[in-house]
Every structure is written in C-alpha cells, then in structure tokens.
Amino acid sequence: MFQMFQVTDFFRMAKATMSGGRFEVSKIKAILTQSLVQRETEQVERKVKGKFLPLSVWEKQGFDTKAIENGAEKQKSDLFLA
C-alpha cells in the first residue's frame, strides 16, 4: 500500500502531464510504473537493511552503540524533525 505522500506525489506528477485539459495515458503509465518500482525498491531495501530502531533498543540487545553511531546510516524523522 502506498503512503499518503506517495499518493500525493503521484497525482501531482499526473496533473503536470495534462495537455489541453486531458491526461496523456502514456505519461500516466510511465509515472505509475516509476512509482511502483520506487515503492518496491524501498520495500526490498528495508528488508535487506532491517528496521531502524532507537539506539537504546540495540544497546539492550548487547550491541555497541558507539559503533552504530559512527558507522550506521542515519534516518531522518518527520516526527522529530531530525
């Protein structure tokens, strides 16, 4: 299932393809294909990389949080604006 921002992006891009008040079907298909591929890629990436969890969770599982902080990919949070 798409998240709301993905649906909004799709319709924004689709609207931009309008010509003379009509949608161009080939462009809509290309946008939909792009959206589906991007979503699938993100899902596979999440499965491969695993979940982003707070450092406290990793610490409780016995991991070295300093090593995680120094080497792990950072994730931005819309909730915490970080």
**Are both 12 and 31 inside the same structural domain?**
yes
Q: Encode pLDDT of 55-81 as tens digits.
A: 888 899 998 989 888 887 777 666 655
Domain, as residue range, for 26: 1-50
**Are both 55 and 18 inside the same structural domain?**
no
**19, β-bridge pairs:** 22
**Are both 73 and 58 inside the same structural domain?**
yes
Phi, psi of 37 (to 5 degrees): -65, -45
**22, β-bridge pairs:** 19
Q: Encode pLDDT of 13-51 as tens digits.
A: 989 988 888 988 899 999 999 989 988 888 877 776 667
**Are both 21 and 31 inside the same structural domain?**
yes
Phi, psi of 69 (to 5 degrees): -60, -40
Hunting for tokens 């990919």 — which residue is that?
73
**Are both 36 and 59 inside the same structural domain?**
no
**Are both 17 and 30 inside the same structural domain?**
yes
